[in-house]
Amino acid sequence: MQRILIVEDEKRVADLLKIGLEENGYQVLVAYDGAMGLRLFQSNTFQLVISDIILPKMDEFELCKEIRKVDDRVPILMLTALGAADDKLEGFDVGADDYMVKPFDFRELTARVRVLLKRQAVSAEVLVKQIAYADLFINLERQEVTRNNVHIRLSPKEYNLLVYMVENAEKVISRVEIAEKVWNTHFDTGTNFIDVYINYLRKKIDRDFDVKLIHTKPGVGFILTDKL
């Protein structure tokens, strides 16, 4: 579910936005001043920010600058007063992506939201071409894996398993989760195929290196970490 941050000091407007966006399938968090908005942004992951320009404690321009220090890609939709052309220009200068003038038609706002989220998703897909953990690098375009600059050949199943583990590094992953998320199947407790592929990966990823990355958590699952 895509998560949206609303920063709006008028509670009535904020509540209407929250209810309407949640009815459209989005998860929404609300802040009633700029400082609170920044704290929420720093402690959560959002796909979109909707912010009024005039805010207590920290206005939208300063908030936008601080958000861009954390994430330079998340779309920011600013809400402006009628005829505030200078505000719109300043908003764009500090990193806002779009604006709407109050009062606005909620149907138009949801259309803008969809466009911004689609643009953000396409941008993120283009930008993420490589993932890494410690000295392990995966080129997602070429599906190539290296560790400490040593090329490692993997089968398609081994590769998919490794990508999922790197994307969830430092997190214990159960056999059920691996079966469902990596191979889109249900885990059969009567088989050990997941353990077999974990062992295949260990031989290729860990055997020739001093620091081991793939570890078993008995009775729970597996974890990719260099801290054990």
Question: Domain range spanning residue 109?
Answer: 3-127
User: Is 158 in the same domain as 117?
Assistant: no
CA distance 116 to 112: 6
pLDDT band, residue 208 (cuts 50/70/90): very high
User: Is 144 in the same domain as 66?
Assistant: no
Give the predicted TM-score (pTM) of the model.
0.55
Q: What is the mean pLDDT of residues 46-50?
A: 91
Q: What is the mean pLDDT of residues 75-94?
A: 73
CA distance 179 to 169: 17
ω into residue 156 within 30 of 0, thus cis?
no
Return the minimum-mean-pLDDT range out of 52-56, 89-93, 154-158, 221-225. Answer: 89-93
Q: What is the mean pLDDT of residues 209-226?
A: 95
Choose the final residue of a domain: 127, 150, 176: 127
- Assign residue 215 the CATH number of its domain: 1.10.10.10
User: Is 184 in the same domain as 219?
Assistant: yes
- Cα pseudo-dihedral 28, 33, 37, 38, rounded to 10: 180
Q: What is the pLDDT of residue 85?
A: 57
Mention every residue, 6+ apart, whose C-beta is less than 8 A from residue 122: none
Higher pLDDT, 216 or 42: 216
Choose the final residue of a domain: 91, 112, 127: 127
Residue 59's CB is within 10 A of a number of other CB atoms, namely 17
Q: What is the mean pLDDT of residues 180-205?
A: 85
User: Is 196 in the same domain as 168?
Assistant: yes
Print burial letters for 195-213: b (CB count within 10 Å at least 16), e (below 16). Answer: eebbeebbebbbeeeeeeb
User: pLDDT over 70 for what percent of the chain?
Assistant: 91
Choose the final residue of a domain: 127, 149, 173: 127
For 21-32, write each residue's pLDDT tens digit.
Answer: 999 999 999 999
CB 119 within 8 A of CB 75: yes
Q: What is the mean pLDDT of residues 197-217?
A: 96
User: Is 68 in the same domain as 9?
Assistant: yes
- Cα pseudo-dihedral 69, 70, 72, 77, rounded to 10: -100
Q: What is the pLDDT of residue 84?
A: 57
CA distance 121 to 1: 13
Number of domains in the chain: 2
User: Is 151 in the same domain as 115?
Assistant: no
- Assign residue 119 the CATH number of its domain: 3.40.50.2300
User: Is 195 in the same domain as 142?
Assistant: yes
User: Is 95 in the same domain as 146?
Assistant: no
Higher pLDDT, 64 or 198: 198
Mention every residue, 6+ apart, whose C-beta is less than 8 A from residue 118: none
User: Is 121 in the same domain as 212?
Assistant: no
User: Is 123 in the same domain as 142?
Assistant: no
Model confidence at 126: pLDDT above 90: no
User: Is 209 in the same domain as 123?
Assistant: no
Strand partners, 6: 30, 50
User: Is 93 in the same domain as 57?
Assistant: yes
Higher pLDDT, 127 or 91: 91
Helix count and strand count (H, E) for the chain: 8, 11
